[in-house]
Amino acid sequence: MSELRIPGATSVAGPTAIQVARDREDVVVGNEIVRHRLSSRVIHWTVAVFFFGALFTGMPIWSPVFGWMASVFGGLSVCRWLHAWLGVAFSAAMLVMFVHWMKDMAFDASDRNFNVFEYVRFSDREDPDVGKYNAGQKFFFWMAAATMLVALLSGIVLWWPAYFGQTLRSLSILLHDLSFIGFFVAVVGHIYLGTAAEPGTFQSMTRGTVTRAWAKLHHGRWYRKVTGGRS
């Protein structure tokens, strides 16, 4: 890793980007900018592991079409048990993630200018007014939190049917199903945008860093902030 010092930037001499990214973020190191420090990345991937665990143990229960997934975990009876606990673990991890990112994900005035239809057209235009996260990412964050809550509460009812009335139980079937469908669709979009659609993004969740060009293109205001206004 090259150790270029950019005059005026809040770069750190000495440690490499990956070292800096262990405990600091929003810092310029050479040509890279630390976007997600280690704790942010660990939290994200913990949520992801529990999410996919709950997803793949839940899908064979949802439909026999996905019955083959059950054999990975040792059968449907195991899934039925594992799914509930993975759901609890996912919810707990989500709660930690929620607290961790809550401030960054608060909507601000500039988010009103976000036009999702314009955004998905992927024009080469830079987004000069976008902070660390754009309104779409913020929306995803809050919707995920809300959907998690619906899935958790309806899941608890389905877990212990003996303690709840028939109406609540049958309503929970629908709510749990809707939250699953919502999550599935949203996560496909999340993965797509984080990998193939916007190259350079995935690295921000693995190595923790992005390039200057990436930051300028996707998050102009954040770029100016971390570089001290110079670009």
Partner 1 sequence: MALQGLEIRRSSASLRGGGTGLRKMPTVAKYIDTSTCIGCKACEVACQEWNDLPNAQTAGPSHGTYQTLPTMTANFWNLIKFQEVQSPEHGLQWLMRKDQCMHCDEPGCLEACPAPGAIVQYVNGIVDVDPERCIGCGLCETGCPFDVPRYAQGTNKMAKCTLCVDRVSVGLEPACIKACPTGCLQFGDKTALLEAAKHRVEQLQADGYAQAAVYDPPGVGGTGVITVLKHGDHPDWYGLPKDPTVPTTVSVWKRVLHPIGFIAMAAAVFGAIGHFMAYGPKKPKDTSKESGGEV
Task: Enumerate binding residues for partner 1 (CB under 8 A).
Answer: 2, 4, 30-32, 61-65, 67, 76-77, 79-80, 120-122, 124, 158, 160-162, 166, 169-171, 173-174, 177-178, 180-181, 184-185, 188-189, 192, 196-200, 202-203, 211-214, 216-218
Helix (H) or strand (E) holding 32, with range, is strand 32-34
Closest C-alpha among 175, 135, 136 to residue 158: 175
> By C-beta, is 143 or 173 nearer to partner 1?
173
In the complex, what is the shortest distance from the CB of residue 125 to partner 1, in angstroms, rounded to a whole number? 10
Question: Measured from the CB atom, is 106 or 165 closer to partner 1?
Answer: 165
Rank residues 67 and 150 by Cβ distance to partner 1 and give the closer one.
Answer: 67
CA distance 144 to 222: 23
- Of the pair 99, 197, the CB lying nearest partner 1 is at 197
CA 34 vs. chain centroid, Å, equals 17
What minimum distance in Å lies between the beta carbon of 99 and partner 1?
28
- Residue 109's identity, in one-letter code, is A
Cβ of residue 128: shortest distance to partner 1, in angstroms? Answer: 14
Cβ–Cβ < 8 Å for 93, 50: yes
Pairwise CA distance, residues 202 & 5, whole Å = 25
Pair 94, 145: CB distance under 8 Å: yes
CB of 189: closest distance to partner 1 in angstroms?
7
Under 8 Å between Cβ of 12 and 32:
no
Nearer of residues 37 and 189 to partner 1, judged by Cβ: 189
* H helix or E strand, kind and range, residue 29: strand 27-29
Least distance to partner 1, CB of residue 148, Å: 18
